[in-house]
């Protein structure tokens, strides 16, 4: 194999390695995005729980107020 052919093979390996690295980076990015979505869903659920608790608390406070009147 001549030095020119070896250079082409090395370039192919380099390109392949970069493609593999890009694929790994994309896969890691997708995993991060999926985690972010889960965290956002948890935050929304938490906000919904707090809103429900707040509403229930207001209803309870009104019931106590009505009883005491």
pLDDT in tens, the chain (69 residues): 545 555 566 666 767 788 888 899 999 999 999 999 999 988 888 888 888 888 888 988 888 888 888
Instruction: Return the residue matching tokens 């997708």.
Output: 30
Full domain range(s) for residue 65 = 1-69
Q: Is the dihedral of CA 6, 7, 8, 14 positive or negative?
A: positive
Indicate the number of domains in the chain.
1
Q: What is the pLDDT of residue 27?
A: 94
Helix or strand (DSSP H, E) at 48: helix 3-68
Q: Kindly state the tokens that stand for 31.
A: 């995993």
In this structure, what DSSP letter does residue 46 have? H
- State if pTM tops 0.95: no
Q: Residue 34: its pLDDT value, please?
A: 94
pLDDT, position 9: 62
């Amino acid at each position: 194999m001549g030095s020119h052919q070896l250079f082409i093979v090395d370039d192919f390996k380099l390109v392949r390695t970069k493609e593999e690295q890009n694929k790994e980076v994309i896969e890691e990015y997708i995993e991060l995005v999926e985690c972010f979505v889960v965290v956002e869903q948890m935050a929304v659920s938490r906000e919904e729980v707090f809103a429900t608790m707040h509403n229930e608390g207001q209803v309870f406070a009104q019931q106590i107020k009505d009883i005491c009147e």
